[in-house]
Amino acid sequence: MTDPIVVVNGRVVTADDEFDADLRIVDGVITEMSPRGGLSGGGDVIDADGCYLLPGGIDTHTHFENPTLMFTTASIDDFHSGTVAAAHGGTTTIIDFVKTEPDSTITECFERRREIAASKCVVDFALHPVVPIAAAETGALAELADLAQRHGAMTWKFFMAYPGTLMVDDRTLIEGMRLAKQVGAMPILHAENGHIVHDATTRLIEAGLTAEHHHHDAHPHVAEAEAVYRAISIGEYVDSPVFIVHVSSARAAEEIARAKRQGKAVYGETCPQYLLSALEDYEGIGFPAAAYVCSPPIRERANQEALWSALAAGHLDTIATDHAPFSMCEEACFPPQKSNGKGYFPHIPNGVPGVEERLMVMWESGVTTGRLTRQQFVDLTATRPAKLFGLHPQKGSLHVGADADVVVWDPRAPRTLSSSDLLSRAGYTIYEGTKVSASPRFVLSRGEVLVSPALSSSVAGRGRYLHRQRAGVLA
């Protein structure tokens, strides 16, 4: 139970409208929305004068305490530091991943990770199980159906890359996506052809081209475009929706746009790093390039315009972060961080941080430039993620009956982004020095103020697990 709150003088932004309204929040839920001045008394008052009221951001793609590089290391934010950072950036729901660890089943790993996350998260959360390699042969698909039923785990990640560790073959894609459809789950795909990436990596190593930025060359455009096309084709064959995560290139975005034009239930996510950073920022700069290493890679600047256009046209559906933080510190670290691959890109843990920066950099580069309307911003960062990932109507928009996940967004609160102020343990940001004009003034999660000019709350374990009924439907 939280004290009743009234939020006054703000301008509500939804995915298709905006209007001046006051909100009443009782027991963590929005119970009334009334024209400005229409609510008085009955609780603490938050004055949102001059601010927009946005639904709490939903980041459907984070990797907190995420094991990687064959379980030899893990990302440096845990579910606590990661969700504290998220809340400070205006994100009040995250969805993270569960991999199958050696000598364990996906069920054991899912239940263990759910407990760990529940003990640490500051904001609400859900989990995507990663489909185990060879799941069609091992019986693990039946476990996924069971996780969907018992835990509401309605989004399953299929890796089409990383042969031998994570990559599933086409049989598992076909049978897994068919089963997902049957149980109301949505397949989400890391779409890169793993054999092409492996071959390109081997050839670069043989040629002695192992500097950090050559990670980019190990992930050719065709590897992404082919896998996106194959995922869409298999989705068509088994009549399943398909969601492509971290779309990085013009070619991949075009495959999704074509499928949409054909009326297919095909959806895509991109991330700020693909819209705002480019190969030209890190090519030939030595170890600092490791800060940008993620997969698919941050590509040539020429791709950015196509991604922006795809967002504006509705061909890409969501903006998530793929927040996978590793420190750039150059001392030997345990577990190993980016310097593990100094001068040898195959050993660099993949990922960039961004869970706190997401809304600020996207508002600045999208809304203030006129590339996106405020409605599109809300749709891409909260409403469509909520709908596609099975969180709506509880999350993702401000309406009576929804969780009171509210961001009081001040469009005139400039700051210069710097890792010294950001809360990720990564200790760096690829947006260092970026000036943004807007930032959150208050952040409420289920009616509880987590962030305000006077307060920063970080109570581990207050975040709730979100059991989802189904996913992959935009209604």
Residues within the interface to Zn ion (CB under 5 A) = 190, 322
Return the residue matching tokens 């196509």.
Answer: 306
**How near is the Cβ of 246 to Zn ion at its closest, in Å?**
6
Cα–Cα distances (Å) from 130 to 53, 155, 157, 301, in that order, read 35, 9, 5, 31
With binding defined as CB under 6 A, does residue 429 bind ligand DUC? no
CB 346 within 8 Å of CB 210: yes
What's the DSSP call for residue 407?
E
Report the b/e string of 264-290 with b at 16+ CB within 10 A. Answer: bbbbbbbbbbbbbbbbebbbeeebebb
Q: In what order do the strands lie in the sheet with 57-59?
A: 57-59, 91-98, 124-129
Contacting ligand DUC within 336-375 (CB under 6 A): 350-351
With binding defined as CB under 6 A, does residue 240 bind ligand DUC? no
Q: How far apart are CA 287 and CA 341, in angstroms?
A: 9
Of the candidates 295, 321, 327, 337, which one interacts with ligand DUC according to CB under 6 A? 295
Q: Which is nearer to ligand DUC, 272 or 351 (CB)?
A: 351
Contact partner, 350, from ligand DUC, Zn ion, none, Cβ < 5-8 Å per class: ligand DUC
Question: Rg of the chain over CA atoms, in angstroms?
Answer: 21
**How near is the Cβ of 265 to ligand DUC at its closest, in Å?**
21
Q: How far apart are CA 394 and CA 466, in angstroms?
A: 10
Q: Which is nearer to Zn ion, 191 or 367 (CB)?
A: 191
Contact partner, 255, from ligand DUC, Zn ion, none, Cβ < 5-8 Å per class: none
Of 431, 433, 430, give the one whose Cα is nearest residue 290. Answer: 430
Cα–Cα distances (Å) from 59 to 91, 233, 319, 344, 383, in that order, read 7, 27, 8, 31, 11
**How near is the Cβ of 393 to Zn ion at its closest, in Å?**
27
Contacting ligand DUC within 178-197 (CB under 6 A): 190
* Cα atoms in the 13 Å half-sphere on the side-chain side of 41: 0
Distance from the Cα of residue 417 to its chain's centroid:
20
**How near is the Cβ of 281 to ligand DUC at its closest, in Å?**
19
Q: Which is nearer to ligand DUC, 165 or 452 (CB)?
A: 165
**How near is the Cβ of 416 to ligand DUC at its closest, in Å?**
28
Contact partner, 270, from ligand DUC, Zn ion, none, Cβ < 5-8 Å per class: none
Neighbours of 413 (CB within 10 A): 16
CB 460 within 8 Å of CB 120: yes
With binding defined as CB under 6 A, does residue 322 bind ligand DUC? yes
Interface characters, 58-77, with ligand DUC (x: CB under 6 A): -----x--------------
With binding defined as CB under 6 A, does residue 249 bind ligand DUC? no
Of the candidates 114, 120, 214, 246, which one interacts with ligand DUC according to CB under 6 A? 246
Q: Which residue is nearest to ligand DUC (CB)?
A: 295
How many residues bind to ligand DUC according to rule CB under 6 A? 9
Q: Which is nearer to ligand DUC, 190 or 446 (CB)?
A: 190
Could you list the residues that contact ligand DUC (CB under 6 A)? 63, 190, 245-246, 295, 322, 324, 350-351
